[in-house]
Amino acid sequence: MTRIVVTGAAGFIGSNLVKGLNARGITDIIAVDDLTQGDKFRNLADLQIAHYVDASTFYDHFAQGHYGAIEAVFHEGACSDTMELDGKYMMANNYTLSCQLMQACQQQRTRLLYASSAATYGGSDTFREEPAFERPLNVYGYSKLLFDQHVRLAWHKAAQQPPAARMSQVVGFRYFNVYGPREQHKDRMASVAFHQYHQFLADGKVKLFGEYGGYGPGEQMRDFVFIDDVVAVNLWFFDHPGTSGLFNLGSGRAQPFNDVASTVVNTLRGMNGLSSLNGQEALTTAEIAALGLMDYVAFPDALRGKYQCYTQADLSALRAAGCDHAFADVQTGVQHYVQWLAQQA
């Protein structure tokens, strides 16, 4: 039986990966997390795992071989708060532990598929997996970039070794703006779609940032990627153990925040019989704003100089590796997500 480890298993992407593995009949899964925030258990409660291990003990025990033969580790555990200022904490969580885990994986011939981030690009206007375009704007982005660099160096050294001494599979995914089910515990770091859904229910309108960075109100553009697509790409590489590398994981399509807001509003109105997202009665962004269903707020000072106004994943490397997965656009993914949120309520 295939035994898998998922770190950050009670988190957003981690729990969806467990769900995706379960859908394949894989249940011999060691879930690793820190449940100090106890309500994260809900992300695992409907899933099948073989064992739960606290993150404070897992990494040392794994390095000592306590868990037997492990086919692969999906490493999603990290501090993902882009506004966290404690660099020592960030580096210990996102860099040092990841280096320790990678070394143990190589010693045990265990495959490693890990979460990097589009935050490694920071202030760049080109989003291709090359050092020339990596300009992180915060310590979170730097912590992710430093581990990517560590992996690159290991690949370079391994390439000079005989084939028998080559590395087992290591794949890094530079996640762009992921949204979807099981992110409710993330508080301020949850997706825009999550926050706007709850804003509309509470206030009858959604909120977006106003003009900033040369972009009009709500016109800053991001590569929004639906969680189901993230899981599908992770599992594609799991199915191709001979393929290693660092890959962007976004839709390859930049869309404005206004598109997210419009989809949230139209989907909720449609569920109340007021409009149809795909029908003639769906409102345009201008109509939504004119009706007072969209509120633009001043761009916060705390984010000035630390905010990516535009991101769009270059998928050339992903496609060259042979992964031809088709990604959902905002209108499709956010509609599904809003409907799922409503069902949970």
Contacts of 15 (CB under 8 A, 6+ apart): 9, 43, 44, 47, 182
* Options 59, 121, 140, 175, the catalytic residue: 140
- Nearest-10 crossing angle of helices 192-203, 257-271: 50
Q: What is the CA radius of gyration of the chain?
A: 20
Q: Which one-letter DSSP state was computed for residue 246?
A: E
Are 170 and 102 contacting, i.e. CB atoms less than 8 angstroms apart? yes
CA distances from 90 to 84, 99, 140 (A): 8, 14, 7
Burial of 34 (0-12, 13-18, 19+ CB in 10 A): middle
Contacts of 97 (CB under 8 A, 6+ apart): 59, 77
Three-state secondary structure of 275-317: CCCCCCCCCCHHHHHHCCCEEEECCCHHHCCCCCCECCCCCHH
CB atoms within 10 A of CB 204: 12
| Catalytic-residue membership of 19 | no
CA angle, residues 253, 258, 261, in degrees to nearest 5: 110
Among the listed residues 65, 50, 37, 39, the one whose alpha carbon sits nearest the alpha carbon of residue 4: 50
Are 149 and 129 contacting, i.e. CB atoms less than 8 angstroms apart? no
| Catalytic-residue membership of 95 | no
CB atoms within 10 A of CB 216: 12
* Options 52, 67, 89, 186, the catalytic residue: 186
Among the listed residues 176, 212, 211, 210, the one whose alpha carbon sits nearest the alpha carbon of residue 191: 176
Q: Which residues are catalytic?
A: 140, 186
